[in-house]
Amino acid sequence: MFPSGSSSVVYIDFNFKDHTTQAMLHSGCEVCLCPLHMRKNAKTIPAKTELLAVNGPRIWVIGLTRMFFTIDGVYFQTDMYVLDDISEMMLRINFMCKHECEWLFAESRIVIFQCLSVRHIYVCQGICSHTPRYDSKMCL
């Protein structure tokens, strides 16, 4: 149990360019987000999109990119907005729906495509995250 007023976020391990790192599973985030440091030399398409942090400030979008990664050896790709204001990748609710994810909170695992059961989910306290909102006309 977390103390009153503390924030918590949930991460999943994934492999990207031969390195294991973490992505935030964020069911309240409407767009997938990627930090600039993960895509510095990758193709990025300019995007005329405005994102807002949950507390109101605008977040500058560098562009749109396609990420290729694996989770427990299963290949995934998704389009993501590239931002310089975040430090970790965020996978949105539509990513989870598209890949038929079933989040089993009591068991600390997520089932993907009804067959890939990932137990590399862990909780981190005290992390501040941006939860963007977007104009429905700008859907990916």
Amino acid in the structure at residue 61:
V
For the chain, helix, strand, coil in percent to 5 are 10, 45, 45
pLDDT of residue 59: 85
| Chain position carrying tokens 């503390």 | 6
User: What b/e string do you get for 97-135 counting C-beta neighbours within 10 Å, with b at 16 or more?
Assistant: eebebeeeeeeeebebeeeeebeebeeeeeeebbebebe
Give the total residue count for the chain: 140
* pLDDT tier at 115, thresholds 50, 70, 90: low
Taking Cα atoms as reference points, which of 26, 24, 61 lies closest to residue 138? 61
Give percent of the chain above pLDDT 70. 74
- Domains detected in the chain: 8-129 (2.40.70.10)
Helix (H) or strand (E) holding 95, with range, is helix 93-98
23 CB-near residues (< 8 Å, 6+ apart): 11, 12, 14, 88, 89, 90, 91
Tens-place pLDDT, residues 9-59:
588 889 998 899 888 888 878 889 999 999 888 889 998 888 887 788 888
Average pLDDT on 74-81 reads 92
